[in-house]
Amino acid sequence: MGKVIDMSHVIIPGKSDRKFILETIGADEVNPNVVRLPNQWYIMNNIQMVSHIGTHIEAPFHIRKDGLDLARLPLEKFWGEAVILDLRNLPPRQEISSDQVADAARRAGRIHRGDIVLGNLGFSRFYGTPEYQQNPFFSTKAIQWLIQEGMKMMGVDASGVEIPGSESHVNHHALFEREIPLIENLTGFDQITKTRVQLYAFPIAVEGLESFPVRVVAFEPD
């Protein structure tokens, strides 16, 4: 039947480096018509959080006022064939060139138009540590090469794809100008044995929302 792989980190309230607060309340605080049985556990939660936390998806509206938000991105962006580019064992903070990306794509069987592209940098094991910020980074030419090959969504096991120190967000702009969403902080690559999987990463549809945590699920057929 194949294997299902969870590619999302678990968010633990109070243990994240970004704001995520759960306030547990009784369901009767939201709905005064609730009939609570004696000692019945019936709760809801108020949530205070930063939208860019854990494994999350970013929409073009993140840095483009005229870009699509999570409610307006077409559903077909969020699922489909995903190709995994093996970019592990590169030195920390090294630029990933377009040639290196093209070579990884060749080894993976090439990128097909309409693919989701996942970059396996081998960095999910450092998640939550200072080392996590030392990941290799994609050159703008590498991002542009992937766009030209026809990818429809990108994901990485790192906190981003931006060039260090780039306050102009050149790589984000390259993606978002083509309405290509980005998933950051992936995990689970060590459980995948093939170079292609089916991927599902549906965010909630909220008008005006630029990012939100997402449960990314890969299906690896037998």
Q: What are the pLDDT digits (tens) for 67-126?
A: 999 999 999 999 999 999 999 999 999 999 999 999 999 999 999 999 999 999 999 999
Q: Spell out the domain ranges in the chain.
A: 19-49, 56-220
Alpha-helix residue ranges (DSSP H) falling in the chain: 27-30, 98-107, 140-149, 170-176
Sheet holding 116-120, edge to edge: 3-6, 217-220, 196-200, 79-86, 116-120, 153-156, 182-184, 56-58, 211-213
Superfamily of domain 56-220: Putative cyclase (3.50.30.50)
Task: Assign 215 to helix, strand or coil.
Answer: coil
In the chain, where do the E strands start and end? 3-6, 20-26, 43-49, 56-58, 79-86, 95-96, 116-120, 137-138, 153-156, 182-184, 196-200, 211-213, 217-220
pLDDT higher than 80, residue 1: no
Q: Per residue in 127-159, pLDDT tens?
A: 999 999 999 999 999 999 999 999 999 999 999
Q: What is the pLDDT of residues 164-194, one digit of tens each?
A: 988 899 999 999 999 999 999 999 999 999 9
Q: What's residue 90's pLDDT? A: 95
Helix axes 98-107, 140-149, angle to 10 degrees: 40
Query: pTM of this prediction?
Result: 0.96
DSSP 28: H
Contacting residues for 83 by C-beta, under 8 A, at least 6 apart = 105, 108, 109, 110, 111, 112, 115, 116, 117, 118, 195, 196
